[in-house]
């Protein structure tokens, strides 16, 4: 028999996924080839050992959400947007919200739109106010001008005669001169008195000084005189003594003459 | 295997879910959640990554269910989504910067396997511990397989897909599926022999 099963055939045989004809063919082969049978049994034994590796329980089985309603998922956001818009509109209608756009601009309000002052009204108010202010200022300016004019007229009337001015000026000048002269006199009198006092004091002082000096000189002369007299007396005594001594000597020694 | 029995019901649920029936959709998720989780868990051997992929798979299912023309092809279609996310997640994890101390060292794994073999299973807690270890070892064995072989084995051995369905889910020929299965089983056999694990040792005390 030339048939020899391939490895693939052996696997078919081993897992029993084989046609009955082929199975019979391999059975026959195994009978005549014990070594091939032994090999196959070895693989079978390996399978049995490996079969000891049992299943393990996974932790928990998750819950899956199907994605079949993806069409709804797609439309859902648009429906949400539409619902939101509807809600906003309803809320606006319920609260009496109104909005309009006209020449006055965009207006929004809850309830009736209450227009404020128009541009023209505001302009009129401003103009009126400005006119009032202008009038007031003009009248006050006029009154000020009038009063200044009156004063100027009075002033001009006073200033018209030059002689009056000259007289006033002369009078003023004389008054000033008189004041200066009296001041000068006053100052001159005082000065003379002071000078005289100084001169008197000086002359007195001078006089007493001179007398003092003369006294001193006199005293000095007196001293000198006394000293001269004393000297004279001393000399007279000395001469007297000398003459006596000479006489004694002359008496004692007459031969020597 | 029991999902095969549920298929008519599943078809009905899919039709309803496609029409936007939330209850049907959630029923569908409830029915398949555990399967997809375990599929990913066996692929990664890691709870967090498995949860991540499972959630992504069902979100994608929810979104793309309408594009499924034939209700009978729901199963390979769902596994296709899951395996794509598995692949993506694995690639993402690979691209992530992993510090050496965060990495599971193969050396410690080797020790782990070594200890597994020598564990004395006399008392009940130890037996339980031992069975937990066996689970880790089998996970490790799956992890050793190249990605495409691993996917095929998981779909076939644990998820009970037909070879035709796996081919459809992975967009490859049936022969390629069989060939990958063959090599995957061969590799697993070799690995288990290497670690001295066989039916006698694992059912030693059970």
Task: Look at A68 and B142 and tell me if their CB atoms are within 8 Å.
Answer: no
Nearest CA in chain B to A42: B189
Q: What integer pLDDT is reported at residue B132 of this predicted model? A: 60
Among B143, B132, B137, B142, smallest CA distance to B113 is for: B137
Q: What is the mean pLDDT of residues B116-145?
A: 66
Q: Give dist(CA B203, CA B197) in Å, integer.
A: 10
Which of these ranges, A39-53, A140-154, A212-226, B4-18, has the smallest mean pLDDT? Answer: B4-18
Q: What is the DSSP letter of A99?
A: E
CATH of B2-95, one of 1.10.3720.10, 1.10.10.10, 3.30.530.20, 1.10.1740.10: 1.10.1740.10
Q: What integer pLDDT is reported at residue B2 of this predicted model? A: 46
Tokens of A218: 């006199």
Q: What integer pLDDT is reported at residue A184 of this predicted model? A: 84
Q: Where in chain B is the domain with CATH 1.10.10.10?
A: 106-202
Q: What integer pLDDT is reported at residue A76 of this predicted model? A: 84
Tell me the Ramachandran region of residue A105: left when phi exceeds 0, alpha when psi lies from -120 to 50, beta otherwise. left
Containing A162, the helix (H) or strand (E) segment is helix A162-252
- CB contacts of B197 in chain A (<8 Å) are 49
Question: Chain A interface, mutation test: which of B135, B182, B202, most A Cβ atoms within 10 Å?
Answer: B182
Q: What is the mean pLDDT of residues A29-57?
A: 89
Q: Mention every residue, 6+ apart, whose C-beta is less than 8 A from residue B4.
A: B160
Nearest CA in chain A to B197: A49
Neighbours of A27 (CB within 10 A): 11
Confidence of residue A119 (pLDDT cuts 50, 70, 90): confident
Q: What integer pLDDT is reported at residue B10 of this predicted model? A: 80
Q: Does A116 touch chain B (CB under 8 A)?
A: no
Q: Does A72 touch chain B (CB under 8 A)?
A: no
pLDDT over 60 at A111, yes or no: yes
pLDDT over 60 at A59, yes or no: yes
The bridge status of strand A97-102 relative to strand A105-110 is antiparallel
Nearest CA in chain A to B186: A43
Q: What is the mean pLDDT of residues A158-186?
A: 83
Query: Which residues partner with A37 through β-bridges?
Result: none
**A43 vs B62, B189, B202: nearest CB:** B189
Domain boundaries, chain A: 7-50
* Interface contacts A/B by beta carbons within 8 Å: 109
Tokens of A76: 């859902």
The answer to pTM > 0.90 is no
Q: Where in chain B is the domain with CATH 1.10.1740.10?
A: 2-95
Helical spans, DSSP H, in B65-105: 74-95
How far apart are the CA of B136 and the nearest CA of chain A, in angstroms? 9
Question: Chain A interface, mutation test: which of B189, B190, B202, most A Cβ atoms within 10 Å?
Answer: B189
- Tokens 């932790």 locate to A59
Which of these ranges, B42-51, B113-122, B189-198, has the smallest mean pLDDT? Answer: B113-122
Confidence of residue B1 (pLDDT cuts 50, 70, 90): very low
Q: Mention every residue, 6+ apart, whose C-beta is less than 8 A from residue A36.
A: A5, A29, A30
pLDDT over 90 at A98, yes or no: no
Higher-confidence residue of B117 and A225: namely A225
pLDDT over 90 at B39, yes or no: yes
- Tokens 């319920």 locate to A94
- CA-to-CA dists, residue A56 to A47, A108, B18, B128, angstroms: 19, 70, 29, 15
Q: What is the mean pLDDT of residues A176-187?
A: 87
Share of chain B above pLDDT 90, in %: 42
Q: Give dist(CA B165, CA B177) in Å, integer.
A: 10
Task: Look at B141 and A67 and tell me if their CB atoms are within 8 Å.
Answer: no
Which of these ranges, A13-17, A161-165, B163-167, has the smallest mean pLDDT? Answer: A161-165
Which of these ranges, A10-24, A57-71, A149-163, B148-162, has the smallest mean pLDDT? Answer: A57-71
Whether the complex's predicted ipTM is more than 0.90 is answered with no
Q: What integer pLDDT is reported at residue A117 of this predicted model? A: 79
Which of these ranges, A109-123, A229-243, B37-51, has the smallest mean pLDDT? Answer: A109-123
The answer to whether residues B188 and A53 touch, using CB atoms and an 8 Å cutoff, is: no
Q: What is the mean pLDDT of residues A39-59?
A: 88
Confidence of residue A232 (pLDDT cuts 50, 70, 90): very high
Look at domain B106-202 and name its CATH class. mainly alpha
Arithmetic mean of pLDDT over chain A: 86
Q: What is the mean pLDDT of residues B77-85?
A: 94
A76: helix, coil or strand? helix
- CB contacts of A7 in chain B (<8 Å) are 178-179, 182
């Amino acid at each position: 028999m030339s048939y020899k099963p391939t490895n693939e055939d052996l696997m078919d045989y081993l897992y029993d996924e084989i046609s009955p004809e082929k199975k019979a063919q391999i059975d026959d082969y195994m009978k005549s080839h014990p070594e091939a049978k032994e090999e196959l049994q070895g693989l079978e034994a390996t399978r049995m050992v490996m079969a000891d590796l049992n299943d393990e329980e996974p932790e928990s089985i998750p819950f899956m959400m199907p994605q079949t309603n993806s069409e709804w998922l797609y439309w859902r956001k648009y429906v949400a947007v539409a619902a939101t818009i509807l809600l906003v509109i309803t809320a606006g209608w319920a609260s009496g919200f109104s909005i309009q756009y006209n020449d006055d601009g965009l207006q929004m309000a809850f309830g009736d739109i209450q227009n404020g002052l128009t541009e023209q009204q505001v302009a009129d108010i401003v103009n009126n106010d400005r006119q009032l202010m202008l009038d007031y200022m003009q009248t006050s300016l006029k009154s000020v001008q009038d009063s200044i004019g009156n004063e100027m007229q009075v002033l001009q009337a006073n200033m018209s005669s030059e002689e009056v001015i000259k007289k006033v000026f002369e009078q003023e000048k004389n008054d000033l001169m008189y004041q200066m002269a009296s001041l000068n006199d006053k100052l001159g009198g005082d000065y003379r008195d002071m000078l005289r006092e100084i001169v008197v004091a000086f002359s007195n002082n001078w006089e007493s000084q001179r007398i003092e000096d003369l006294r001193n000189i006199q005293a000095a002369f007196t001293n000198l005189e006394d000293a001269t007299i004393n000297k004279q007396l001393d000399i007279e005594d000395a001469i007297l003594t000398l003459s006596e001594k000479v006489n004694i000597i002359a008496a004692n020694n007459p031969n020597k003459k | 295997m029991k999902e095969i029995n549920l298929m008519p019901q599943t078809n009905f649920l899919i039709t309803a879910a496609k029409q936007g029936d939330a209850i049907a959709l959630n029923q569908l998720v409830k029915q398949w959640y555990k399967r997809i989780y375990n599929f990913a868990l066996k692929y990664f051997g890691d709870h967090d990554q498995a949860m991540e992929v499972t959630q992504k798979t069902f979100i994608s299912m929810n979104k793309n269910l309408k594009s499924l023309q034939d209700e009978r092809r729901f199963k390979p279609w769902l596994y296709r989504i899951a395996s794509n996310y598995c692949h993506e997640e694995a690639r993402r994890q690979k691209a992530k910067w992993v510090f050496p101390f965060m990495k599971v060292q193969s050396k410690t794994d080797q020790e782990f396997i070594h200890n597994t073999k020598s564990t004395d299973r006399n008392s009940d807690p130890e037996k339980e511990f031992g069975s937990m270890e066996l689970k880790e070892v089998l996970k490790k064995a799956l992890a050793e397989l190249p990605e495409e072989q691993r996917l095929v084995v998981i779909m076939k051995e644990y998820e009970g897909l037909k070879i035709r369905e796996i081919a459809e889910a992975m967009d490859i020929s049936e022969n390629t599926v069989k060939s990958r299965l063959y090599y995957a089983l061969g590799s697993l056999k070799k690995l288990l022999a290497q670690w001295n694990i066989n039916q006698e040792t694992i059912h030693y005390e059970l």
